[in-house]
Amino acid sequence: MSRNIVLDANWTWKQRDETVNSVFDDNDGWKTAQTSPSEIHVELLKAGLIPDPYVGFNEHKVQWIGKVEWLYQCSFEFVRQENEAHALLEFLGLDTLCDVYLNGKKILVTDNMFQTHIVPLDIPSLKAQNTLLLHFKSAQLLAKKLEKEMGKVRAGSTNLGDPSRVYVRKAQYDWRWDWGPELMTCGPYRPITLKAFAARIEQVNTHAILSKEDLPSLSIDVTLSGNPVVSSLHISLLDSNNTLLKEQVVPAEIAVLHDVISWNLANLVEPWWPVGYGAPNLYTVTILLLDAAGHTLDSHSRRIGFRRVALIQEPLEEADQHGTGTTFLFEVNGVRMFMGGSNWVPADNLLTTITPERYRSWLTLLRDGNQNMVRLWGGGVYEPDVFYETCDELGILVWQDFQFACGVYPAHDSFVASVRKEAEDNIKRLRHHPSIALFCGNNEDYQMVLQWGDVKDFPAIKIYEEVLPKVVEDLTGPQPIPYHRGSPYGGKGWDTADPTIGDVHVWDIWGGRERPYQDYAQLGGRFVSEFGIPGHPDMKTIEYWMDDAPKEQWHPQSALMAQHCRAGSFERRFAILMNEAFRVTEDLETYVYNTQLLQAEAVGYAYQVWRRKWAGRGKEYTAGVLVWQMNDCWPVTSWAIADYFLRPKPVYYVIARQLAPITVGIMRTVHKSRDNDRPAQYYDFSTFRSYGATLDVWGTSASLIAHSATLEIHCVDLLTAWTHTETHPITLLPNQATELLSIPCPGPPNHLAAPNPTGDDLFTTTYSVVVAARLRDPETGEVLARFADWPQPFRFIEPRVLREPGLVLDVLRGEEATVTVRAERPIKGLVLSSVEDVRWSDNAIDVMPGDTQVIMARGLGEGTIDVAFLRKETRSR
């Protein structure tokens, strides 16, 4: 049987003494490695030689690490066993510039952290005691050297790392990004394995096909290496219960076997489905390589799923506000699906600290938030196998960027060759995963070239339009995985801002023209693959990075708070949106809450109005929305919807409600007294001189069948005791949005209304009315969806109006506590929290009188519950 010896012990490390001529003479100062795989920052931190770079200003104290060289050394035993005629070393990831020596002989030179390296060894070169030496050089210094040789190019902006990064195939976010620190680490960050064998299975390509007629089949290509002593392959297929479904023994007389088996699996297997559409059914393929006597020489096992995925770009039947153009939608197993999800950045700057459990926690959080797609952004890394395996299990579709982001990358021969191998290595590793829905050439490279307007040469077009699509096509047949040149991309002359073709990134709200978030309804496109609003993380996360900071740093505009917010011009951009919506405050906790509510309101609004544009066959005007971003790589204020410690922000729960199988939405359109009066962001509270408003109510359904429901409208005036209720029977059309109701917004009659601030009774009485909509099952009475539309801006709501809403929490404790929430008056943005990290089934809710809501709280135990809401922003019990 072949042997896989993982070299995960007996590692030591040291800083390279550059005054010593040879790395083999650099003998002083070796320290025992605490981790394997390893990164130098982790080792230095565990050895107590550097402070935590995620705390305070410590990031700036560790910049020297990326400018020097580092050595790693591993000693390992090898005793050759009978019939082991061959050996190799497999390196799954070396970050980044590394010379590799085995027993004093250089066997490998690497300059691309995204490649897998297989180094054949002569068995006689392996001794009873062996030494593997890794010499890591500075990627930072090489980048500047190459920049000097080849020229300085445009790459991002001042907060997107040094432009020289484009010349080196190292994770681009390591150079700093607008949500992450500059930590130029290095090391053997993925496993190194010694393999010894007589013969082995070198490569397997499984083609799990679901035909257009929904008939499943499986064919397999196998590549063998080693001595030609093999006799056969035993191939088996098992279900999730390890029940054998099919097996076959086939001869294995040549090295490359195409279609070694070709099985019709009708009535034996079920399709793999994404979140919300069915079970993510997985099956295990096992291949045994047998000798003539039937002994196992090698084995290979992997999980597969049967599905077909297509990217549909076809003409729309009718025009929307943007015109006609084409769709940009994903069809899985013949079903057109609205994609709701988020963008993924690496979950840590120190990749070796991300455990399989942590990956699972992140992706489970995503799945539990009703998200069915995650986009792996092009400035990070190709994640390890466990990431994609977990996506397979959870039913999460993956949009996989190739690793290029926000820059003018070169395309000289050696660079293109390195990228081609990088692409081949990762496509071969990932192509069998049913979760992989798209490969994408880059992040924002086309867009930035267009925005800059002064880039004369864009050489990487060769990579995005020739190299990568050819590799994807060649390696992912016979049911190719779709390829998209870049994100965003589309339109005439690759106009990346064209809302009628391809995908778009919508940044005119936070950045760009800095428009009000209510303009999301006028923006968007056929597929919104990036947009977002930042929000501060949980106060416990802020307390982590503040550590023992002096009292004067504990305010929103302190230097230490700015150290942990990298968004460009964030003070000015926050101020615009925050000052429009909220009253100015210098209290840190109030400010944090307000940023979180702003993020939740703005992003939730975007999901709501864009999902409304999933309007049925031929009218799929917006077919997907992916928020920037799901996660963080360190404790920071960013666009993330859950912070570094997996603590969801309020926006996470709002998105989950907007992506539920059934939703209800409200749009309030104010009738102005003059056409040029207040813009949309001054919603109703400030339009005292308006003549009322119109309510448009719609519902969405992900179900493939129609649903009957009862629509309830409940209006409550914040300034008086006036209320209003009405009900309507409705039908939700399958797999689309359905317009349900368009009525004048109810308001109290003049004789009951609070005096209009203008003193003129001719104008509206609706400016202080909260309108709530619920969808109920007409038979069971179950609430299927709810939404509350509040008059805005919130800064006009007087504290006395909301401060004492008669909130009651009834807590039934157990392994998972049940929290029943009710109130006598409307509550905006009720956030429940605890000293402990509690998993809430829902949070950041709007509460209406007479509408009891139940929230499950895992991990609460005997802990108390703190509450915060609009006009009571600091936590209280």
806 Cβ neighbours under 8 A, 6+ residues apart: 823, 824, 825
| Contact (Cβ atoms closer than 8 angstroms) between residue 838 and residue 816 | no
- Residue with tokens 């929103």, as numbered in its chain: 556
Cα 453 to its chain centre, rounded Å, is: 30
| DSSP letter for each residue of 708-769 | EEEEEEEEEESSSS-EEEEEEEEEEPTTEEEEEEEEEPP---TTTSPPPTTS-TTS-S-TTE
Taking CA atoms, 598 is separated from 530, 581, 605, 795, in Å, by 18, 8, 10, 12
Q: Under 8 Å CB-to-CB from 804, ≥6 apart: which residues?
A: 825
d(CA 794, CA 655): 21
Q: Are 2 and 196 in contact (CB under 8 A)?
A: yes
C-beta separation of 796 from 685 below 8 A:
yes
Whole-angstrom CA distances from 633 to 67, 445, 618 are 22, 22, 40
Q: How far apart are CA 378 and CA 875, in angstroms?
A: 38
Q: At what angle do helices 468-476 and 413-430 cross, to 10 degrees?
A: 30
Dihedral sign for Cα atoms in the order 318, 324, 325, 327: negative
**Which DSSP category does 790 fall into?**
-
What does the alpha-carbon distance between residue 766 and residue 718 come to, in Å, rounded to a whole number? 10
Q: What is the DSSP string of 368-383?
A: HTT--EEEE-TTS-PP
Integer Cα distance of 41 and 70 in angstroms: 11
Please state whether 762 falls in left (phi above 0), alpha (psi between -120 and 50) or beta.
alpha
Rounded Cα distance, 126 and 137, in Å: 26
Name residues whose C-beta falls within 8 Å of residue 386's C-beta, 6 or more positions apart in sequence: 356, 359, 360
Alpha carbons 240 and 283: distance in angstroms, whole number: 6
Q: Looking at 39, 147, 393, 444, which residue is catalytic?
A: 444
Give CA 46 to chain center in angstroms: 29
Q: CA–CA distance from 654 to each of 787, 795, 829, 830, 865 (Å)? A: 10, 21, 10, 12, 20
Active site residue 444: yes
SS3 183: coil
Helix 650-658 and helix 588-611, axial crossing angle in degrees, nearest 10: 10
Q: Which residues are catalytic?
A: 444
